[in-house]
Structure 1
Amino acid sequence: MADDQTGPLADVTPFPDTLDARLREQFTFLVEVDALKAVLRRSPLVAVERRENDAEHSWHLAMMVLILAEYSDEPIDTGHTVQLVLVHDLVEIYAGDTPLYDSDAGADQEEREVAAAERLFALLPEDQARWVRALWDEFEARRTPEARFAKAMDRLQPLLLNWMARGGTWRTPGVTAEDVRARKAVIGDASTPLWRAGRQLIDEGEARGWSRSGETTEGPSA
């Protein structure tokens, strides 16, 4: 992770002094976010036997927005929604991934991620830093139709991966099918048909023994 470095990753091989100052800041940020490829998530990939990383996850969400936007309960700006999903996990370069069903890890998630946002986006030129931070804040607040749909994709994507894995993180010790439904219900805030389909997969997974039946437990809300 980039957080293991004492400074930006670009400091390892500094750019020429003659490089345009604005471009230097932009290149530094773009090199830094390469670290997103090293942040592993809990979700298993379908094509190969390994866990996905945050960059793969963000790309998959962007593709889902393009393909599934027609199912939004409200009209959305697809391009803006893609921007939201591409930005939403950048803070995990420093804050790390917080597993959905890990209540201990979720306790200080907001504090860690806000500190990471302030540090990471400050690498950009000031105008772009404000713009990217506003995108991140919009996703987190979920007050716009685009942000609600982006969050729905963030919850639907691992649901699809876990279905393909015949349980995946649904098999996390202590997690029940009711936990899964509770954590995924935010999909319904943006899309009634996608949440209906999501519930079908969760219910069928439970029926097949891919998740435990039982009462819901405490966990992070993210």
Structure 2
Amino acid sequence: MQPADLLKQIEFIKEVDKLKYILRKTKLINSDRNENDAEHSWHLSLMAIVLAGHANFPIDLLRVIKMLLIHDIVEIDAGDTFIYDTQKDHSNTEEERKAANRIFGLLPDEQAGELIAIWEEFELGQTNEAKFARAMDRLEPLLQNTSNNGGTWNEFGINYEKVYNKKQIIQQGSDSIWQYAEQLINESVEKGILRK
């Protein structure tokens, strides 16, 4: 590595500090404070470490952690899109692509290329690692909403069908975690914190 590479890496590190200011709709577990993207990424990474044994297939855990730590960095420019948003699709948009190129482009070329490839892999959701990472990304808000008496489900009028359809992706990464998640969703209906 050259001294110029270090300066680029430091610029990237300073830039991604902005992730701490991007607020998500979901609130922390048993809290009324909104989670920020940096907290979300950290939490998902730790979840992946703890829950990796439940993956449907062998995974490269380090690659999963990299995905989880960087998957929302594009939201520095593109903003957070609420998973149940009816106006804006919660998928890889041109806006997010521009953000990925700008932010990861602060790094030396080789690192920039690696992180963009990992970000794209997560977005496509086709590899074993991406499937498991996406399972973590869908599980965490479920845990938050069930701990907060319906949280954003009640705040934004989200019903069982929408939650079930969005959370079903968990099964691609882990059958056992999906069974747990499905039980939580059904219990939420029984408790009256998720409307049918």
TM-score by length of 2: 0.95
Q: Distance in 1 between matches of 2:130 and 2:140?
A: 15
Q: Which runs of 5+ in 1 are unaligned?
A: 1-18, 214-222
Distance 1:125 1:69, change over 3 A: same
Compute the displacement of 1:109 (Å): 5.7
Select which of 5, 14, 35 maps to 1:52.
35
1:84 maps onto 2:50 in alignment: no
Aligned match of 1:32 in 15, 19, 28? 15
Deviations 1:147-202 (A, max 9, x none): 10000000001110111111111214342111100000000111111011001001
Structure 1 stretches (4+) deviating beyond 6 angstroms?
none
Separation in structure 1 between the aligned mates of residue 112 and residue 63 of structure 2, nearest angstrom? 17
Question: Which structure has the greater CA radius of gyration?
Answer: 1
Of 123, 126, 131, the residue aligned with 1:140 is 123
What is aligned with 1:102? 85
CA distance in 2, matches of 1:47, 1:21: 45
Counterpart residue number, 1:14: none
Offset of 1:108 from its aligned partner? 8.1
Secondary structure class of the residue paired with 1:52 = strand
Q: How many residues align?
A: 195
Structure 2 counterpart of 1:177, one-letter code? Y
Whether the 8 Å CA contact 2:82–2:90 is kept in 1: the answer is no
Do 2:83 and 2:90's aligned partners in 1 also have CA atoms closer than 8 Å?
no
Is the partner of 2:192 in helix, strand or coil?
coil
2:190 maps to 1:207: yes
The reply to whether residue 93 of structure 1 matches residue 71 of structure 2 is no
From 132, 151, 170, the counterpart of 1:149? 132
Contact 2:189–2:195 (Cα < 8 Å) also in 1: yes
Q: Which amino acid is the alignment partner of residue 26 of structure 1?
A: Q
Amino acid at match of 2:28: L
TM-score norm. by structure 1 comes to: 0.84
In percent, how many aligned pairs have the same letter?
45
Query: Do the aligned residues in 2 keep the contact of 1:167 with 1:211 (CA within 8 Å)?
Result: yes
SS at match of 1:104: coil
Q: String of CA shifts for 1:5-45, please: whole Å, max 9, x gaps.
A: xxxxxxxxxxxxxx931111000000000000000001111
